[in-house]
Amino acid sequence: MYRLAHLSDPHLGPLPDARIRELMSKRVIGYVNWHRNRAGTHTADHLTTLLADLATQAPDHIAVTGDLVNLSLKAEIEPARAWLQSLGPPHDVTAIPGNHDAYVPGSVKRAIKSWRPFMTGDTAALDGNDFPFVRRRGPLAIVALSSATASAPFMATGVFDSRQARALCRTLKSLQAENLFRVVLIHHPPVRSRKYWHRRLIGTGHFSRAIHEAGAELVLHGHTHVDSLVWIDGDTRPVPIIGVPSASNAPGDKRPAARYNLFDMEKTDGGWTCAMTERGLTLPGKPVSEIRSRRLVYSPGATVSEDVSEPVAASG
User: Binning pLDDT at 50, 70 and 90, where does residue 120 land?
Assistant: very high
Bigger pLDDT: 106 vs 194: 106
Overall size of the chain counted in residues: 316
Query: Cα(73)–Cα(69) distance, rounded to whole angstroms?
Result: 8
What values do phi and psi take at 12, rounded to 5? Answer: -60, 130
Identify the pLDDT of residue 128.
46
* Poorest-pLDDT segment among 188-202, 207-221, 231-245: 188-202
Query: Does residue 316 have a pLDDT over 50?
Result: no
> How far separated are the first and last CA of the chain, in Å rounded?
33
* Side chain identity, residue 88: G
Identify the pLDDT of residue 15.
81
User: Binning pLDDT at 50, 70 and 90, where does residue 315 land?
Assistant: very low
User: Span 70-82, mean pLDDT?
Assistant: 94
Identify the pLDDT of residue 265.
95
Query: Does residue 61 have a pLDDT over 90?
Result: yes
pTM, two decimal places: 0.93
Query: Does residue 117 have a pLDDT over 80?
Result: yes
User: Span 79-88, mean pLDDT?
Assistant: 97
Identify the pLDDT of residue 306.
63
User: Binning pLDDT at 50, 70 and 90, where does residue 310 land?
Assistant: low
Query: Cα(83)–Cα(270) distance, rounded to whole angstroms?
Result: 40
User: Span 246-275, mean pLDDT?
Assistant: 91
Share of residues in the chain with pLDDT > 70 (%): 92
Identify the CA nearest to 44 among candidates 86, 72, 6, 92.
86
Identify the pLDDT of residue 302.
64
Identify the CA nearest to 148 among candidates 121, 170, 129, 167.
129
Query: Does residue 125 have a pLDDT over 70?
Result: no
Task: Quick: pLDDT tens for 147-174.
Answer: 999 998 888 999 999 999 999 999 999 9
Bigger pLDDT: 132 vs 315: 132
**Domain 2-307: CATH superfamily, name plus number:** Metallo-dependent phosphatases (3.60.21.10)
User: Binning pLDDT at 50, 70 and 90, where does residue 311 land?
Assistant: low
Q: Hey, where are the domains in the chain?
A: 2-307
Identify the pLDDT of residue 304.
66
Contact predicate 219/210, CB 8 Å: no
As a three-state string, the secondary structure of the chain is CEEEEEEECCCCCCCCCCCHHHHCCCHHHHHHHHHHHHCCCECHHHHHHHHHHHHHCCCCEEEEECCCCCCCCHHHHHHHHHHHHHHCCHHHEEEECCHHHHCCCCHHHHHHHHCHHHCCCCCCCCCCCCCCEEEEECCEEEEECCCCCCCCCCCCCEECCHHHHHHHHHHHHHHHHCCCEEEEECCCCCCCCHHHHHHCEECHHHHHHHHHHHCCCEEEECCCCCCEEEEEECCCCEEEEEECCECCECCCCCCCCCEEEEEEEEEECCEEEEEEEEEECCCCCCCCEEEEEEEEEEECCEEEEEECCCCCCCCC
User: Binning pLDDT at 50, 70 and 90, where does residue 101 land?
Assistant: very high
What is the pairing mode between strands 271-280 and 289-299?
A: antiparallel
Identify the pLDDT of residue 33.
79
Please, what is the average pLDDT of the chain?
Answer: 90
